[in-house]
Structure 1
Amino acid sequence: MGSKKKEIALQVNISTQELWEEMLSFKGLTVVDVYQGWCSPCKPVVSLFQKMRIEVGLDLLHFALAEADCLDVLEKYRGKCEPTFLFYAIKDEALSEEDEHFSHEKDDGEDEGAVSSEKTCTLAIIKPDAVVHGKTDEIIMKIQEAGFDILTSEERTMTEAEMRLFYQRRAGEEAFEMLVHYMCSGPSHLLILTRTEGTEDVVTAWRTLMGPCDPDVARREQPDSLRAQYGTEMPFNAVHGSQDGGDARRELALLFPGFKFSEQVPEAPLAKTALRSSR
């Protein structure tokens, strides 16, 4: 009986607009499992959510359930048969600089392999098509020549679970399954980029260097861009970049969980971490 009460406390059921607005005031990160009335919430992740929240802290990580048909704000998610998770983050402004400094020191001591930065950062991915054609070194050289600093770099094959969460905003699109399969088809090269020169922020500068999403359009409009030079056709466009500062934080947290942010691009008090479909 005690364990049942604990499960309810760890995963709040949002059934009204009032409860939804109250949920949006939670400090820290809130993960919302959006489900359909004819399809129950994603049960396999409940035990994982419980373990994560206990480890991270009850005040920093929250999990909620929300039925799409009960809330107007979730109208666009109605009728979806895929698991849908929405991420909301709000910073606790009451956290003092001294407490924040102590928190970073503690984290550094617990995770020796963690990467941290006080600069604005973004995620760059050299996709499987470019890696398999041996273009990784060329692309990295062009990235450095363009004035970017590479904080960390590693090659690995993404899992299906990672990519379904990574591209969850595109779950309703016809090409979603092909995109997930493509991104898991072989090794990708992942980089965390910063920028010390130039007037553009690192997210904008990297997206400019990548060029238009469609390689054919890139060759017409920005022939010197990476997608023009190394992409072939959609979705084989060689490289990925975060859409904006909020997406960069979400994507880096997903693929580099040990990465620690310090001074980043200012965010709105509430940021929904879902990818745009323009990539």
Structure 2
Amino acid sequence: MGSKKKEIALQVNISTQELWEETLSSKGLTVVDVYQGWCGPCKPVVSLFQKVRIEVGPDLLHFALAEADCLDVLEKYRGKCEPTFLFYAIKDEALSEDEERSSHGKDGGPDADVASSEKTCTLAIIKPDAVGHGKTDEIIVKIQEAGFDIVTSEERTMTEAEMRLFYQHRAGEEAFEKLVHHMCSGPSCLLILTRTEDTEDVAAAWRALMGPSDPHVARREQPDSLRAQYGSEAPFNAVHGSRDAEAARRELALLFPGFTSAEHAPEASPELEEGVVPPSPEDVH
């Protein structure tokens, strides 16, 4: 009679410092849902975690729960009733740079050609509507003319699971499903941007170049902005940009987990990267 397979929990419940360190030592990306005992973990995203884990595989993607009151390392998250997710990425150092590029293939995954940058960076996405209309090259030229340096770029079609996690802070909005569907409807061009000068304000500078999220407002208030020139209506507004440095940290950790920069450098150890997912009251997507 065959042995019964052991059921593997989707999320590890971290209750001690020892288990915290053990969990974060896992190779790949670990997503920690930090919660308050009186508030509870963010249960609505459990099904999303399951979808992401199935698509990516269990070896390099791990999910965990951690109650802020139980761990000193999470003291700064106590007393808050808001969704908070921490991202920790550890690269497998057994692979040399050449071996890693080879394992991804010539046109491999998100980090195939991404090394690092010593400057502060932000995420930019040329959305499927603009890519589909053949405007990618035009927009990239305008980005470079505006004084931005492109650290890396990649064209790919995002998955529904990625976009639901990416926009999870907007899950309660009426336009959420439409936004997710649009972002998965075709290829996007993902860019990591920095600037030769004023690198500390790179996120704000990119937002200024994009213009207001509503293309109609952009055409009225900032006719030279990218959304005024290439957008039609929300969410078909041509480009996305991180709200600020904290949002850039989270978004880059999700879409480019192997990328490191001055702003996105590890804090706890040379191998560790952390990103926080705060709710966003502002729509700059």
With structure 1 as the length reference, what TM-score do the two structures score? Answer: 0.69
How has the CA–CA distance of structure 1 residues 213 and 180 changed in structure 2, closer, same or farther, with 3 Å as cutoff? same
What is residue 42 of structure 2 aligned with on the other side?
34
**Residue type at the aligned position of 1:143:** I
Is 1:237 paired with 2:245? no
In 2, Cα distance between equivalents of 1:30 and 1:147: 34
Match of residue 79 from structure 1: none
Task: Give 1:179-194 correspondences, 5 Å limit.
Answer: 179-194=179-194
1:86, distance to aligned residue in structure 2 (A):
4.2
1:1-279 mapped onto 2 (5 Å cutoff): 7=9, 11-12=12-13, 30-32=31-33, 34-35=42-43, 41-42=46-47, 45=50, 48=53, 63-64=64-65, 73-74=80-81, 86-88=84-86, 109=97, 111-112=100-101, 113-115=112-114, 116-198=116-198, 201-258=201-258, 260-264=259-263, 272-274=276-278, 276=280, 277-279=282-284
Contact 1:127 1:238 in 2 (8 A): yes
User: Compared with structure 1, are the counterparts of its residues 246 and 111 closer, same or farther at alpha carbon in structure 2 (3 Å cutoff)?
Assistant: farther
In structure 2, relative to structure 1, the CA distance for the partners of 1:272 and 1:254 (3 Å cut) is closer
Q: CA deviation at 1:45?
A: 2.6
Q: Which structure shows the bigger proportion of residues in helix conformation?
A: 1
CA distance in 2, matches of 1:197, 1:187: 31
Aligned in 2, Cα 1:266/1:178: closer, same or farther, shift over 3 Å?
A: same
TM-superposed CA distance for 1:255, in Å, is 1.7
8 Å CA contact 2:249, 2:275 repeated in 1: no
Structure 1's unaligned 5+ residue stretches are 14-18, 77-84, 92-99
Change in Cα spacing, 1:165 to 1:46, as seen in structure 2 (3 Å) is: closer
Deviation at 1:256, TM superposition (A): 2.0
What is the root-mean-square deviation of aligned Cα atoms in Å? Answer: 4.0
SS at match of 1:130: helix
- Write out per-residue CA displacement over residues 225-271 of structure 1, whole angstroms, 9 at most, x where no aligned residue: 1111111111111100011112112212222233x213116999986
CA contact (8 A) 1:129 1:238 kept: yes
- Cα distance in 1 for partners of 2:183, 2:138 equals 20
> How many angstroms does 1:122 deviate by?
1.0
TM-score using structure 2 length:
0.67
Q: Deviations over 1:185-222 (max 9, x none)?
A: 11111111111124762111111111111111111221
2:42 partner SS: strand
SS in 1 for 2:194: strand
Structure 1's 265 and 154: CA in aligned 2 closer, same or farther, altered over 3 A? closer
Q: Does structure 1 conserve the Cα–Cα contact (< 8 Å) formed by 2:123 and 2:192? A: yes
Residue 54 of structure 1, CA deviation = 6.5
Change (3 A) 1:114 1:106: farther
Q: Decide whether the 8 Å contact of 1:124 with 1:190 is kept in 2.
A: yes
Q: Distance in 2 between matches of 1:235 and 1:46?
A: 24
Q: Give the secondary-structure state (helix, strand or coil) at the position aligned to 1:233.
A: coil
Whether the 8 Å CA contact 1:245–1:267 is kept in 2: the answer is no
Quickly say closer, same or farther: Cα 1:265–1:43, change in 2 above 3 A: closer
